[in-house]
Structure 1
Amino acid sequence: MSDTIEKLSAPDCLVALMVAISASDEEIRTPELLTIERIVNHYPAFAEYDQGRIRDVSQRVFELFLDEDGLDTLFQIVRDNLPARLFETAYALACDVAASDGKLGEAELQLLEEIRYELTIDRLAAAAIERSARARHATL
């Protein structure tokens, strides 16, 4: 495992989880990419973030997904480098990306469940986050 992935910044960790949820169904859709870009461009957690890092972080996530224990490694890296106060933020961003294309497949749902577990997101908080993501991405 490279030192670069082990030393992710907090915003890198948020990007890594957004990329992971997008890639979980093995098809990264345009609405998901646009949502990640919009989030990075506008959310306070990314105020000082170098957007050039998105490509590097994405590549590291893809490399981890090739490893049998890659997802466990990703979660360990996130827990080690993301302040616990941002765990719900990470889950909310993952939910936004998952909901952005209007399709929640089994792989995305399973990864969201794993994120909830790994980041110890309370059930009630998770339900509220999920519902708000659905509301934000509802279509007419």
Structure 2
Amino acid sequence: MIEDAPMTAQDALVALMIAMSASDENIRTAELVKMSNEINNLPVFAGYDAERLPRMSKMVFELLEPVDGLEALFGLIRDALPENLFETAYALACDVAAADGRIAGPENRMLEEIREELNIDRLHAAAIERGARARHMTL
């Protein structure tokens, strides 16, 4: 994080998207474009300081290195994110996962982890996943 500045709710959303993209150890251009578009266009990111992005990326990558790093990252995200944004966070993760047109094994496992960590109801999760799939269909 930036010096002693605490993680904001917006930072938490960004961190989750970065972690989702990194989950299969292959961050694709389509995923980066999706994250950039979400940050630049969604109301939840209004006023977000893009200068925080490199530091958030560094923090996520450092946390994902140790075995228990994902658990630590989820703890930071839960602490910074108000509960009313849990489904938003899951929707953003689904959009990043679907951005390249396929969701592979590691990405599926990460989405499952996110559902559990953020206590997303299975029916709500299915609806969010279906919406992400519909938005990312190709001809």
TM range (shorter): over 0.9
Q: Once the 2 structures are TM-superposed, how far is the Cα of residue 7 of structure 1 from its aligned partner?
A: 2.2
Deviations 1:77-112 (A, max 9, x none): 011110000000000000000000012111000000
Alpha-carbon distance in 2 for matches of 1:6, 1:77 = 13
Match of 1:87?
Answer: 86
Match of 1:136?
Answer: 135
Q: Which amino acid aligns with 2:64?
A: F
TM-score (norm 1): 0.95
- Structure 1 vs Structure 2 CA RMSD: 1.5
Q: Which amino acid aligns with 1:38?
A: N
SS across alignment from 1:93: helix
Distance 1:58 1:103, change over 3 A: same
Match of 1:63?
Answer: 62
Q: Once the 2 structures are TM-superposed, how far is the Cα of residue 4 of structure 1 from its aligned partner?
A: 5.4
Deviations 1:35-59 (A, max 9, x none): 0000000001110100111111011
Q: Once the 2 structures are TM-superposed, how far is the Cα of residue 5 of structure 1 from its aligned partner?
A: 8.8
Asked if 1:34 is matched to 2:42, the reply is no
Match of 1:108?
Answer: 107
Distance 1:3 1:31, change over 3 A: closer
Among all aligned residue pairs of Structure 1 and Structure 2, give the percentage whose two residues are the same amino acid.
58
* Residues 5 and 77, structure 1, Cα contact 8 Å, conserved in 2: no
Alpha-carbon distance in 2 for matches of 1:102, 1:29 = 11
Misfit runs of 4+, over 4 Å:
2-6
* Residues 96 and 133, structure 1, Cα contact 8 Å, conserved in 2: yes
Match of 2:75?
Answer: 76
Q: Which amino acid aligns with 1:24?
A: S
The residue correspondences of 1:2-17 to structure 2 (distance < 5 A) are: 7-17=6-16
